[in-house]
């Protein structure tokens, strides 16, 4: 493979475009340090059967970056970028948003049926391919994913990888993970953490909510509490009991899903619906 430009950064590594020297096809190559999280990510990807809304894993290659041995995870390339940028920069019809919502729910259902909790559902990790007439959604970046049941998912599970991941992650955290990070305490992860993040993403998609991004021209697709100049993550607002004050799914196009999304944003994981 010949590496091209950087196309993204995930919880555990940097992603580049990569062209196969054999076929000329373009792929995504995620550069990872060889450690537990990278081994876990490859393990999750290799055990998953093919699903139309999960990024297709191709292979892994070990290489050198200077004196450092690294792992390159090769997967399919999604040329339309992430769902957050696409929603904010294109005129996306309601029917298309609904179709994307169904695809994302299907992907999360598939993961949960395979006892995999993604733990980092957010716009950067939901990529698009296909064309404007029919967008195909792909869930990517399994650097924080975990398989249930396993010894690490007991009461003492606390993953500091969240502290290293991109700033956007904190706006898509569930209340239980938010509290565990805030208090530096263990957290028992269940599939319901993905449901909370899914609810946030649906809310942001249908209501077109965003905050300023890393530079003035950028916007980041997310719901938030408080003022746009000092936005508060919804998990924090829910923890403080402020969710009743938030106007969830307020647009006419989102009204049909309002009650469902409100249930997804329940403080207690057991009160959230399944995928």
Print pLDDT tens along the chain (275 aa): 999 999 988 667 899 999 999 999 999 999 998 876 778 788 889 888 899 999 999 999 998 888 888 999 999 999 999 999 999 999 899 999 999 999 999 999 999 999 999 999 999 999 999 998 899 999 999 988 888 875 554 444 545 554 444 445 889 999 998 888 888 877 777 899 999 999 999 999 999 999 988 765 689 999 999 888 899 999 999 988 766 677 888 887 788 888 899 999 999 999 999 87
Residues 261 and 148 in one domain: yes
CATH of the domain at 55: 3.30.200.20
Same domain, 142 and 234: yes
Three-state DSSP at 169 gives: helix
Which of these three, 26, 56, 76, is where a domain ends? 76
**Inter-CA distances, 204 with 23, 89, 115, 159, 263, Å:** 39, 14, 27, 26, 16
Please identify, among 36, 53, 76, the residue that sits at the C-terminal boundary of a domain: 76
Q: Quick one: pLDDT at residue 130? A: 94
Query: How much is the pLDDT for 163?
Result: 41
How far CA 211 is from CA of 208, 218, 226, 266, in Å, comes to 10, 9, 11, 23
Q: Is 30 annotated as a binding residue?
A: yes
Q: Is the distance from CB of 77 to CB of 15 less than 8 angstroms?
A: no
Residues 239 and 181 grouped into a single domain: yes
39 and 100 co-located in one domain: no
Q: What pLDDT sits at residue 36?
A: 64
Number of domains in the chain: 2
**Residues 62, 35 share a domain:** yes
Alpha helices, H only, 13-155? 36-47, 83-89, 94-113
Give the residue ranges of DSSP H helices in 208-250.
234-239
Strand partners, 228: none
Over its C-alpha atoms, the chain yields an Rg (Å, rounded) of 18
pLDDT at 147: 85
- Report the C-alpha gap between 220 and 167 in whole angstroms: 10
Instruction: Among 76, 107, 127, give the residue marking a domain's end.
Output: 76
Same domain, 212 and 113: yes
The pLDDT assigned to 165 comes to 46
> DSSP secondary structure string, 61-75?
EEEEETTEEEEEEEE
Considering the domain architecture, whether residues 26 and 90 belong to the same structural domain is answered as: no
Shared-domain flag, residues 61 and 100: no
Task: Count Cα atoms within 13 angstroms, Cβ side, for 70.
Answer: 17
One domain, residues 22 and 143: no
CA nearest to 209, candidates 222, 226, 219:
222
Q: For residue 160, what are the contacts with CB-CB under 8 A and spacing of at least 6?
A: none
**Residues 71 and 89 occupy one common structural domain:** no
> Do 113 and 149 share a domain, yes or no?
yes
pLDDT of residue 26: 97
Range of the domain at 188: 83-271
- Are the C-beta atoms of 208 and 136 separated by less than 8 Å? no
CB 20 within 8 A of CB 35: no
Residues 36 and 154 in one domain: no
Could you tell me the end-to-end alpha-carbon distance of the chain, in angstroms, rounded to an integer?
A: 37
Here the CATH number for the domain that contains residue 215 is 1.10.510.10
């Amino acid at each position: 493979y010949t590496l091209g430009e950087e196309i993204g950064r995930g919880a555990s590594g940097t992603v580049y475009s990569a062209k196969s020297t054999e076929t000329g096809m373009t792929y995504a190559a995620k550069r990872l340090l060889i450690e537990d999280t990278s081994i876990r990510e490859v393990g999750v990807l290799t055990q998953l059967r093919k699903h139309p809304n999960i990024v297709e894993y191709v292979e892994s290659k070990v290489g050198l970056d200077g004196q450092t041995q690294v792992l390159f995870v090769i997967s399919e390339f999604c040329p339309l970028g992430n769902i957050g940028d696409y929603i904010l920069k294109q005129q996306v019809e309601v029917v298309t948003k609904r179709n994307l919502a169904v695809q994302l729910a299907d992907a999360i259902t598939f993961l949960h049926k395979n006892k995999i909790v993604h733990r980092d559902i957010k716009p950067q990790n939901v990529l698009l391919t296909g064309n404007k007439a029919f967008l195909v959604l792909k869930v990517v970046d399994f650097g924080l994913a975990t398989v249930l049941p396993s010894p690490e998912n007991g009461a003492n599970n606390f993953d500091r990888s969240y502290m290293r991941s991109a700033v956007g992650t904190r706006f898509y955290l569930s209340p239980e993970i938010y509290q565990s990070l805030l208090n530096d305490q263990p957290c028992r992860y269940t599939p319901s953490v993905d449901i909370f993040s899914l609810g946030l993403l649906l809310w942001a998609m249908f209501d077109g909510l965003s905050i300023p991004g890393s530079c003035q021209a950028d916007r980041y697709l997310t719901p938030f509490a408080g003022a746009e100049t000092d936005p508060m993550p919804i998990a924090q607002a829910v923890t403080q009991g402020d969710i009743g004050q938030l106007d969830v799914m307020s647009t006419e196009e989102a009204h049909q899903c309002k009650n469902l999304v409100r249930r997804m944003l329940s403080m207690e994981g057991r009160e959230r619906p399944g995928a």
